[in-house]
Amino acid sequence: MSYGPDPWRQTHWDWRAAGNFIGGGAGSGLLVFTALAGVEGSARTGLVLTGLALVGLGLCCVWLEIGRPWRAFRVFMNARTSWMTREALAATLLFPAGLAAALNVPGFSWIAAALALLFMYCQGRILHAARGIPAWRGPLVPLLMVATGLAEGAGVFFLLAPMHDSASRTLLVLFAVLVLVRAIVWLAYRNQLAFAAPRVRAALRWPDRLLLIAGTLVPLGLITVIGTGVASGFTAVAYTVIAGLAAAAAGSAMKFALVTRASFNQGFALAHLPVRGVRH
């Protein structure tokens, strides 16, 4: 690290912070997609518990990042101005609602899905509030985090397809739409960084290729093969799993790079250099 007028990468948020965005987004997205899929019974129980586990794992990652972890309860004390507080409050409501959904209590699947959307939105606003980091403060960052979380959640849903056997054509089309929307939002976000520092753009170069190729073209191609009936039986299930894995893994890699690799601040400039005996 070298401090000076040129941008340097922040080190306060590392892989643990990235883990919160990855686990929280994928877990919340899975809860939303499970509600949209209308899965019932033991399959819904397993999917909802998996989503809650991912959210909980993400929160544990960020808890490990706190300098004094046992003072974490203080995060609840600033709901008026802090998106971290709002994220924590949303999570506090999400877990009991999710457990009720896992127990197949009527109506709670949609309540958990709504709280999961709120949780993802709060995560996006946390990044957006970091005004000193050009890659985070863009106006499309909240939408990017929500779109990525939904695509990741759908990916995890189809990654677990052998567990619930709910990979209908309608859900595959919805999966394709979410993956395509994520790609469109990502391209718009990337274009907004056209004037960012070269090192910021360089840090997002490989996630860009990964997201567009492995995270978009591969799932869309496999979904097309499945939807046209070219693949069936075990092959169709295998293609579904691969498509889900590709979509989820590419989104997670993008978030990791965004939080830990592209997190350069904007640097600073001195309008006037101090000179002895000269008044500015």
255: its two tokens = 């978030």
**C-alpha to C-alpha distance for 8 and 58, rounded to whole angstroms:** 26
Kindly state whether residue 134 falls inside one of the protein's structural domains. yes
Q: What is the pLDDT of residue 64?
A: 76
Residue-level pLDDT at 67 = 60
Residue 157 lies in a domain: yes
> Is residue 97 a part of any domain in this protein?
yes
Asked, for residue 272, whether it belongs to a domain, the answer is no
Q: Which of 19, 97, 103 is nearest to 65 (CA)?
A: 19
Q: Is residue 276 one of the residues assigned to a domain?
A: no
Is the CB of residue 263 less than 8 Å from the CB of residue 136?
Answer: yes
The pLDDT, as a whole number, for residue 71 is 63
Q: What's the pLDDT at 218?
A: 97
pLDDT score for 81: 83
Counting as low any pLDDT under 70, the low residues of the chain are 1-6, 66-73, 267-274, 277-280
Q: What is the pLDDT of residues 75-95, one digit of tens each?
A: 777 778 888 899 999 999 999
Q: Is residue 26 part of a domain?
A: yes
Are the CB atoms for 260 and 254 separated by under 8 Å?
no
* Domain-located, residue 267: no
277 in a structural domain: no
Q: What is the pLDDT of residue 1?
A: 47
The whole domain housing 239 covers 15-260
Domain with residue 104: its CATH number is 1.20.1630.10
Which residues does residue 5 pair with via DSSP β-bridges, in sequence order? none
* Cα distance between residue 7 and residue 267, in whole Å: 4
What pLDDT score was predicted for residue 234? 83
SS (H, E, C) 23-86: HHHHHHHHHHHHHHHCCCHHHHHHHHHHHHHHHHHHHHHHHHHCCCHHHHHHHHHCCCCCHHHH
Q: Write out the H or E segment, with its range, that includes residue 238.
A: helix 234-260
- Number of structural domains (the chain) is 1
